[in-house]
Amino acid sequence: PIDELAGRAGWWTLFEEEGTFQQELHLLLSLLPIAVLVAVSFYLSTMMWRYGTSSSMIVHSSICNPWFYCFFGTLAMAAGQLFAEQLYPVMSNTGILIFIITIEAVMVEVDKDIVAIENEASFLVCVALKGDQISVARPSMAEQQQRNDTVLLQDEETPTITSDQVDIIDAVDVQAGGVVSSNLVESDGQIDVEVKFEDEETPAVKGVDGIAS
């Protein structure tokens, strides 16, 4: 009976030998655990292969790199489950053995990657410490506040010229002898525009708050 071959035959026997539904189900259940392991291993080995190719600390120039080993071992384990009664014991165990060896080979690459990550982290820590040693000391909050108050006080004491006062200076008629100079006179918090002429007999023109008089 085909059910007596459970654990001693692979998928080839399941599809080629004839038997009752219960006998075939018994053989199928014996093959199912390895089939699930193969499916999960295909996914994990593909993810590890992708990580080793594009994201690992040790860069490889090709997709054919040591991270491929686990995928190859999964293929060998899957192939070992396909044989009939005569070859299944040898091929199945050989496939599982190759799978275990490839896992050990990938673990070597994982260990190398962990060491590289630790070295990179140690380097970044040393750089940060050295940067703290050579950096300029930052001012305290009190000193920073005092500097801000000083700047604000200087801005309040500096007189400003309005656009109307600039227009008055530009519009002064220089036909009476020409403008010698124009000054700003601050009085009672207001800025006056005082224009002096070369001709001493010509009275000065003085504008208060931007209005000429």
pLDDT digits (tens, 9 = 90+) for 22-34: 778 888 888 899 9
The token duo for 194 is 């005082």
DSSP assignments along 25-51, one per residue: HHHHHHHHHHHHHHHHHHHHHHHHHHH
* pTM beyond 0.75, yes or no: no
Q: What is the mean pLDDT of the chain?
A: 74
Backbone phi, psi, residue 8, to 5°: -125, 0
pLDDT-wise least confident of 39-43, 88-92, 134-138: 134-138
Helix-helix angle 21-54:69-79, to 10 degrees: 170
Distance, CA of 111 to CA of 58 (rounded, Å): 11
Distance, CA of 81 to CA of 91 (rounded, Å): 7
Within 135-190, residue ranges assigned H as helices are 141-157, 163-170
pLDDT digits (tens, 9 = 90+) for 162-210: 555 545 555 544 444 444 444 444 444 444 545 454 444 444 444 444 4
Nearest to residue 195, comparing CAs of 186, 187, 204, 203?
204
pLDDT digits (tens, 9 = 90+) for 130-162: 887 776 656 667 777 777 777 677 665 555 555
Nearest to residue 10, comparing CAs of 75, 72, 91?
91
